[in-house]
Amino acid sequence: MQAEQARALLKALADPLRLRVIEALGGGERCVCDLTTDLDLAQSKLSFHLKVLKESGLLADRQEGRWIYYRLRPEAIEQLRDWLADLSSTCHTPASPCR
């Protein structure tokens, strides 16, 4: 994962409401109608946040009849985790002495 991709994912996750959406989808695919009820959000507000999460690559969706179902994209979460692990593995390297 490139830093630009990681930045987009982290930006999408930075909003508390979007984190609530991610947590709600942690148990599996959910219909938009269930998310609006469970998160106590207007559909227009939820739709905006779902769009941001989808555009960042964190969510996938499918339509069945008039309903849209959203689910997490585990591969995006795994890529972000791997990027953070790489960052973590080098962050303890001491600085070179100044001259």
Q: Is residue 79 classed exposed, middle or buried when 0-12, 13-18 and 19+ CB atoms within 10 A define those classes?
A: middle
Span 25-75, pLDDT tens digits: 999 999 999 999 999 999 999 999 999 999 999 999 999 999 999 999 999
CATH class of residue range 3-81 = mainly alpha
Tell me, what's the pLDDT at 44?
92
Q: What are the sequence ranges of the domains in the chain? A: 3-81
Tell me the pTM.
Answer: 0.84
Q: Cβ(69)–Cβ(62) under 8 Å?
A: yes
Confidence at 90, pLDDT banded by 50, 70, 90 = confident
Assign 3-state DSSP to the chain and report helix, strand, coil percentages, each to 5. Answer: 60, 15, 25
